[in-house]
Amino acid sequence: MSEWTRSASMMPELLSALLSGALTTIEITFFSFILATVIGAALAIVQSFPATLPRAVIRVYVEVMRGTPVLTQLFVLYFGLAQIGIKLDPIPVAILGFGINGGALLTEVFRAGLQSVHVGQSEAAFMLGMSRLKALRYVLLPQAMRVVIPPLANYGVGLLKETALASAVAAPELSFYARNLVTKTYLSGPIYVMAATIYIAMSFPLSRLAQHLELRASRGRRAP
Amino acid sequence: MGTHAKGLLKRFCGRKDLNWPPGMTANDLQGLANAPPLITVSNLCKSFGGQPALDNVSLTVAAGERVALIGSSGSGKTTLLRCVAHLEKPTSGEVIVAGRHVGDRIVDGRKIVMLDRQLAEIRTGIGMVFQRFNLFPHLTALENIMLGPLKVLRMKRDEIEPFALELLKKVGLAHKAGAYPEHLSGGQQQRVAIARSLAMRPKLMLFDEATSALDPELVAEVLEVMRQLAAEGMTMLIVTHEMAFAEDVADRIVVMDHGTIVDQGRPADLIANPRHPRTLALLRPKRAANLRSAS
Ligand SMILES: Nc1ncnc2c1ncn2[C@@H]1O[C@H](COP(=O)(O)OP(=O)(O)O)[C@@H](O)[C@H]1O
Ligand SMILES: [Mg+2]
């Protein structure tokens, strides 16, 4: 019996196991995307203020995150923190790890977005009596989003695939399940094809959404 | 002005931090002669990377007064205006607007930092019209006008909308309420920008070459709105290259050259009796050229 026919008979079990892994993949992707976006926007806003110390700290954070592999960062969170008595479960570790890593990337994205808004816009906002925060919220950020949305959407698509690394800290996501099933059944071909199909089924709608948002942003209103 | 707007006006006037003079009469102006000036600039210096842009400038503007700032390009007019609004931090010297010191200051050798919030409060009473309009491109004309009252004065939408529409009508753009800035001509954008400033009920309006970025045929419509504002008694500090407008509208013309004030006076006096060659060159370029070639 070839591995394909054997796997056909085991299809229901394999599929339900892989799909429950896919749910975890979605969970990790969703929450780390939110975390990364919040970190990125917040730090870019802090960077837009003149205070130099917070800016230096943020630069160090961004450089460290960009200069080390995500896998290493996950290990540090998982094993490193455990050594000093902080034991986190794999899923929170994955969410935190990808969130903090993506936060650094998105700090740069939001910073570029804010810098793309003409300085006259903040001056006009200030002359209406707005504080820096109000100017950011009502004038600068809405305009920065035109520049931010395309890379943000692409980051989301990339993140979905990148979460496969979380299997290294035993987060029970799609790749983790796939590998475990292969170890148990030796059906490596069919199982990895099924896993790949599920990844595509999840990422295709996301990348279509990204394309749509990108198109809309590029058509968006420009400063006259 | 509609009854609703009048009600709003009362509300605003009731605010103790915003007691600008609405609809001043000549008598009021007499009284104000003794009142402290709305703007006091003393010994203001500003340099950019060691290059002085303002060199010991002192100037006062009384409430209800229209002052035109003229001078050739690079003479420091914009910098002076921006220092009054504290968009530019003076290198030294003092700016007082409506009795309040603007920016950080040093008292008894100690630096007193002006907070973002305090600065914002002072700017609430100052309207500024920019050469490049600076309308918010993601908002319609009406939304541009309402943003300040909604978010800074925390008014309700139904409170401010009738007033905002009235301002649009006042600048002749009632039919453009829903238009985004990119769909408005330069002259229309500038008129919306003026209405946006007026929505905050400023005590004082600053104009930085409000018509310089406009096609020639669009200049008049903006000057007309400014003329109307002047007629209503608004205190205005106007940087302009429109000499006929300055002579016509200003109570006083101030001439700048190389970062200093070289001449000032009532337009008629200044034309009859210019004390500085720049004054003559700016106000009567043709005559100045004739005099030069004759001598
Ligand atoms: N942000 C700036 N950085 C450097 N130099 C500046 C800046 N703004 C103005 N200047 C210089 O200051 C001088 C006065 O400029 P400005 O106030 O814009 O003059 P005006 O408005 O009369 O044309 C000019 O020499 C100009 O180059
Ligand atoms: Mg200028």
Going by pLDDT thresholds of 50, 70 and 90, the confidence category of residue A223 is very low
Helix (H) or strand (E) holding B92, with range, is strand B92-97
Q: Specify whether the CB–CB gap between B254 and B238 falls below 8 A.
A: no
Q: How many CB atoms lie within 10 A of CB A216?
A: 12
Q: What is the pLDDT of residue A221?
A: 53
pLDDT > 90? residue A27: yes
Residue B5 and residue B31: Cα distance in Å, rounded? 27
Our count of domains for chain A comes to 1
Decide: helix, strand or coil at residue B47. Answer: strand
Q: For residues B134 and B124, what is the distance between their CA atoms, to the nearest angstrom?
A: 17
Give the model confidence (pLDDT) of B245-282 as tens digits. Answer: 999 999 999 999 999 999 999 999 998 888 888 888 88
Question: Would you state the pLDDT for residue B289?
Answer: 57
B117 within some domain: yes
pLDDT mean over A113-140? 96
Q: Is residue B174 part of a domain?
A: no
From CA B233, how far away is CA B27, in angstroms rounded? 12
CB contact under 8 A, A131 and B124: no
Nearest-CA residue for ligand 1 atom 20 is B74
| Ion ligand 2: residues, CB < 5 A | B 78
Half-sphere exposure of B207 (CA within 13 A, CB side): 34
Buried b (16+ CB within 10 A) or exposed e, B215-227: eeebbebbbebbe
Is B10 contained in some domain? yes
Residue B161 has pLDDT above 70, yes or no: yes
Whole-prediction pTM: 0.84
Q: Count of domains in chain B?
A: 1
Residue A146 inside a domain? The answer is yes
Span A173-180, average pLDDT: 93
Confidence (pLDDT) at A146: 87
Place of tokens 């070639």: B293
Q: What is the dihedral of CA B158, B159, B162, B167, to 10 degrees?
A: -130
Q: Where is average pLDDT lowest: B9-13, B55-59, B262-266?
A: B9-13
Give the pLDDT of residue B286. Answer: 57
Binary contact (B135, A128; C-beta < 8 A): no
Instruction: Quote ipTM for the complex.
Output: 0.85
How far apart CA A143 and CA B144 sit, in angstroms, is 14
Supply the pLDDT for residue B48. 97
Q: Which residue in the set A124, A130, A138 is minimally distant from B134, CB to CB?
A: A124
**A65-79, A126-140, B12-26: the lowest-pLDDT one:** B12-26
Stretch among A193-202, B51-60, B159-168, B278-287 having the lowest mean pLDDT: B278-287
SS3 B88: coil
Which positions in chain A touch B181 (Cβ < 8 Å)?
Answer: 221, 224
**Whether B137 and A142 lie within 8 Å, measured CB to CB:** no
Identify the CATH number of the domain in which residue B244 sits: 3.40.50.300
Position B151 in a domain = no
Residue range(s) defining the domain that contains residue B46? 3-125+202-294
Ligand 2 centroid, distance to B214 Cα (angstroms): 15
As a whole number of angstroms, the distance between CA A159 and CA A95 comes to 11
Residues of A with CB under 8 A from a CB of B: 118, 120-121, 123-132, 134, 138-139, 142-143, 221-224
Q: Check residue B292 and give its pLDDT.
A: 58
Q: Which of residues 185-224 of B touch A (CB under 8 A)?
A: 189, 193, 196-197, 200
pLDDT of residue B290: 58
What residue numbers bound the domain in which A135 lies? Answer: 3-219
Lowest mean pLDDT among A85-94, A132-141, B127-136: A85-94
Q: How many Cα atoms sit within 13 Å of B193 on the Cβ side?
A: 32
Which among B139, B203, B196, B134 is positioned nearest to B164, based on CA atoms? B196
- The secondary structure of chain B in percent helix, strand, coil, rounded to multiples of 5, reads 45, 25, 35
pLDDT at B33 over 70: no
Position A224 in a domain: no
Q: Does residue B68 sit in helix, strand or coil?
A: strand
Domain annotation covers residue B139: no
Proximal ligand: closest to the CA of B130? 2
Q: Is residue A136 part of a domain?
A: yes
- % of chain A with per-residue pLDDT over 70: 96
> At A219, is the pLDDT very low, low, confident or very high (cuts 50, 70, 90)?
low
Provide the 10 A C-beta neighbour count for residue A51. 9
Ligand lying nearest the CA atom of residue B88: 1
Distance CA B167, CA B172 (A): 9
CB–CB of B146/B161 below 8 Å?
A: yes
Q: Which two tokens stand for residue B35?
A: 């009142």
Query: Which domain CATH number covers A50?
Result: 1.10.3720.10
Task: Note the pLDDT of residue B285.
Answer: 67
